Amino acid sequence: MNIFFLGAIALVAYIVQMFLGLKQIKNFNTVYGRMRRNGKVAIGRRPGKIASGTILLFSVDATGKIKEAEMMQGTSILARFKPRPQFAGLNVHELSEDHPVLLKENKLTRQAALNAQEVYLKVEKGNYQETKPVSPVMNLGLQLSLMKQSVQTKFTKRSV
């Protein structure tokens, strides 16, 4: 096959992926904006590297009662938010791993719901700090640096 033909296919696939990714971001912004107009929004995440990822949005009133919930779960850029009415009426403070509603959900949904509760409680206390994940390349560099320091300390201890 012609290399230009393969390059054109790759370019078209990249453009389609970019377009669908932007539609997914627009879907998130639309749902989040609608929920935000009604009050506070608790966002729970369970990122997926190989398995599907999950984002769970809770619209929460001043007392902590969940008014509305929507969830996006999937591995592809075709995933969209879907209503989760079983969470409506629950109190975000009372969610736990053994809550009857959470026991009926899959593991990813439970993790996302508990993450939403954790973040909500930290924000409510006023001590929430967003942590940025370390990239795999940076993580490898940190691991090598730690190994180097470990070897250096072993040799300096022996020579003393």
3-class SS at 29?
helix
Report which of 43, 45, 41 is spatially closest to residue 60, judged by C-alpha positions.
41
pLDDT digit string (tens) for 88-138? Answer: 999 998 888 888 888 898 888 888 999 999 989 888 888 766 666 666 666
Report which of 54, 55, 31 is spatially closest to residue 43, judged by C-alpha positions.
55
| Residues 106, 149: Cα–Cα separation, whole Å | 43
- Please check whether residue 81 is in contact with residue 28, taking contact to mean a CB–CB distance below 8 angstroms: yes
Return the pLDDT at 146: 78
3-class SS at 65?
strand
pLDDT digit string (tens) for 40-97? Answer: 999 998 887 777 788 999 999 988 899 999 999 887 777 889 999 999 999 998 888 8
Domain locations in the chain as residue ranges: 3-153
- Please check whether residue 108 is in contact with residue 52, taking contact to mean a CB–CB distance below 8 angstroms: yes
Report which of 110, 67, 71, 56 is spatially closest to residue 89, judged by C-alpha positions.
67
Amino acid letter, 5 = F
User: Tokens representing 12?
Assistant: 């078209």
Q: Cα–chain-centroid distance for residue 81?
A: 14
Burial class (CB in 10 A: 0-12, 13-18, 19+), 99: middle
| Residues 56, 112: Cα–Cα separation, whole Å | 6
- Please check whether residue 82 is in contact with residue 72, taking contact to mean a CB–CB distance below 8 angstroms: yes
